[in-house]
Structure 1
Amino acid sequence: MRKYEVLRTVVILQAVCMVVLTVVVIIKVWPGNDRQLDNQAPTNVGSEEEPIDPGKVEPSPEGDHSDQENGRQVIARVGKETITAADLQGELQKQYGEATLRSLMVRRAIDLESAAFDLSISSDEQSRELAKMVEGYESESRYYEVMQEQLGMSREQVLDELNYRLLMEKIVIRSVNITDEEVDRYIADHPEEFEARTQLHLQWIMTESSKEANSVLRLLTDGADFAELARTYSIDSFTADGGGDLGLIDADDPFYNSEMLETASRLQVAEMAGPIKVDGGFAVIRLIERQMTTTMTGRRLHDAVRKQLALEQADSLAEMEDKLLAKYDAVKIE
């Protein structure tokens, strides 16, 4: 799937998670949610006590999570100002409501289409796709940790989203026919895409000047922790909080400084080097690990290329979402 569509799907899933979490919070803290929700005042079953008048609920002591403000649940305070559950729910609805609702509707449509054409995702298909997703991370568990830290997604949510994406791809390419000749020709014309390659797992600390980089390098030589120095001194805001971790990079990746990659290729694991002039400043680098990717062959290679070519020829995922929603008469009920 195209990268921008992967990012779009992940962001929408994050919004779904946020709204679901809000509903859970409101259910937990909103008084009387276990009571009837009609216009009558709730009563205590089996008791002769007077019905509770919602307009006469006594406020709880300061700081109690059952605080009320004009009948609305107070869930936070900032000075004398309060934030209610309704405020939170309304803000999330305003920011994410439309996208979240569409995502839920699309999922229902995918379920219907998959059932209609007997489409499913095997454990082998899931495992192969997951292996591609975790490339660049130390391990599968580290990948799940990053998804939890950065997107608030649990392992189960990641796998659930993965299955829906794979189902959607099957739906998109179901009617696209790619011949064996087309697959063979693509493989022959693009051998570099399927060769084994070296990948370098790097950390870096970027500074504004060579002098600062040398100072950092001296601290590292004296035994300072690389990740801590990155968090303290690195001017690269995208990696500083993560201890300067760049993840796995192809040794010939054209998007990274060639001198830095050439230097990294000569390092032993845990060895450091610098200063290296890069865009935006000077870098001190450390090699965490070196990996060799495996080469796909045989049926697995042909299946991967066939899917890639089919996705390039098919409708975009966004276009297919619109078609599915129209097919199954999806409408928003005001």
Structure 2
Amino acid sequence: MKRNEVLKTVVILQAVCMIALAGFVMAKAWPLPSANGNVRDTEEQDDGAVAVVGNQVISKDRLTEELIEQYGDAVLRQLMIRQAIELEAEASGLAVAQEEANDELKRSAEGYENEEQFFDVMKEQLGMSRQQVMEDIRYRLLLQKIAVKDIPVSDEEVRQYIEDHPERFGEKRQYHLLWIVTATRAQAENILSRLESGEDFSELAGTYSIDEFTSQSGGDLGLVDADDPFYDEAVLSAASGMAIAEIAGPIELEEGYAVIELAGTRSTAALTGERLLELARKELALERAKPQQELEDELLSRYDAAIMK
């Protein structure tokens, strides 16, 4: 399974609650377009209609009820958890420094060209503004701090953890790859021939690639770690010996054949000093922490959370 498929699945799951909450707010506060494209002011309508299909009217109340029925419990739980996190952080004297938030943003944006592209994807796929993304990062970091605050980790354990996991903290090399995936070798060879004749890679990807997750973005896989286990080893091996703008293929995959282009490379420096020790200590403590849902349930219980309905 390719890494971008895994990420897309995660994004879709995360998007459900966000889209539902946005829809609920829109249904309450925003005029909806009518069938002919004009905006109807729902507050001026006696029946509260927000849409019409044939002779059947869909009311604002029905829309609200459906959203609450399908997504209300999940959205409400998330709001309650965030309030409980705020209370626990205040009681424990915990806070997230701007530097911590910026570091977490950099980790979240790994695999993207830059942070701006990451924000653009969050806006496009989740409808989240830059401020909402940073607020989500803040809550995530606060919950991590709460999870590990009572977990002791010795300096010797930290040193051993770093020694046992060099891949987590060492220098990383990444490839910016584009690809076109075809069902047969003959199709891949034809694509390769057309590229060598000067045809545009992104246009061919959009027309012929069978990878639905990248075809409409010109076959762009983004930045891929040189040792990423979610990508075919043959693709990464080929990329390691390519020059920028070089094209290679056909490369046999489980799902067919690929033609790839190396659009660029990037290397990240290894962590050192206090930053290395701090991150290793945190990761080790998180491995020993309670499962997230169990911790969330404890926080809700601690602050007498109750649904009033």
TM-score where L is the length of structure 2? 0.88
Deviation, 1:264, is 1.3
SS in 2 for 1:75: strand
- Out of 22, 25, 35, the residue aligned to residue 23 of structure 1 is 25
Give the structure-1-normalised TM-score: 0.82
Instruction: Specify the alignment match of 2:176 in structure 1.
Output: 201
- Name the structure 2 match of 1:106: 81
- CA pair 240-81 structure 1, distance change in 2 beyond 3 A: farther
- Change in 2 beyond 3 A, CA 1:9/1:323: farther
Q: Which residue, 138, 147, 155 being the options, matches 2:122?
A: 147
Tell me the CA shift for residue 85 of structure 1.
Answer: 2.1
Matched, 1:272 2:274: no
Where does structure 2 lack aligned partners over 5 or more consecutive residues? 1-5
Quote the offset at 1:201 in angstroms. Answer: 1.2
- Kept in 2: contact 1:203–1:285 (CA 8 A): yes
Say if 1:256 and 1:17 are closer, same or farther in 2 by CA, change over 3 A.
closer
- Counterparts in 2 of 1:111-150, with a 5 A limit? 111-150=86-125
- Judged with a 3 Å threshold, the aligned counterparts in structure 2 of structure 1 residues 271 and 64 are, in CA distance, closer, same or farther, namely closer
How many pairs does the alignment contain?
299
* 1:269 alignment partner AA: I
Distance 2:197 2:11 in 1: 45
CA distance in 1 between partners of 2:171 and 2:147 (Å) = 30
Does structure 2 retain, via aligned residues, the 8 Å contact 1:65–1:74? no
Residue 22 (structure 1) shift: 2.8
Match of 1:221 in 2: 196
Residue 154 of structure 2 corresponds to 179
Amino acid at match of 1:18: A
1:286 to 261, 266, 271: 261
Quote the Cα distance in structure 1 between the aligned partners of 2:60 and 2:192: 50
Moved more, 102-111 or 230-239: 230-239
CA distance in 2, matches of 1:115, 1:63: 48
- Whether the aligned pair in 2 keeps the contact of 1:203 and 1:244 (CA below 8 Å) is yes
Distance apart, 1:237 and its partner CA: 1.7
1-structure distance, mates of 2:66, 2:236: 46
Check whether the contact 2:173–2:226 (CA below 8 A) recurs between aligned residues: yes
Match of 2:3 in 1: none
Larger Rg: 1
Aligned match of 2:141:
166
- Sort the Cα spacing of 1:63 and 1:280 in 2 relative to 1 into closer, same or farther, 3 A: same
How far the C-alpha of 1:289 sits from its partner, in A, is 1.0
- C-alpha distance in structure 2 between counterparts of 1:68 and 1:169, whole Å: 44
More divergent stretch after superposition (215-224 vs 158-167) = 215-224
Change (3 A) 1:19 1:254: closer
Q: Calculate the aligned-residue CA RMSD, in Å.
A: 2.6
CA positional deviation for 1:263: 1.4
CA contact (8 A) 2:15 2:125 kept: no
CA displacement at 1:82 relative to structure 2 = 3.3
* Percent identity between the two aligned chains: 43
Distance 1:232 1:239 in 2: 11
Pairwise mapping of residues 67-86 of structure 1 onto structure 2 (< 5 A)?
A: 71-86=46-61
Seen in structure 2, the aligned counterparts of structure 1 residues 211 and 110 have a Cα distance that, compared at 3 Å, is: same
Maintained 8 Å contact 2:172/2:225? yes
The question of whether the paired residues in 1 share the 8 Å contact of 2:244 and 2:262 is answered with yes
Contact kept? 1:29, 1:65, Cα under 8 Å: yes
- Match of 1:292, SS? strand
**Tell me, which stretches of 5 or more residues in structure 1 are unaligned?**
31-60
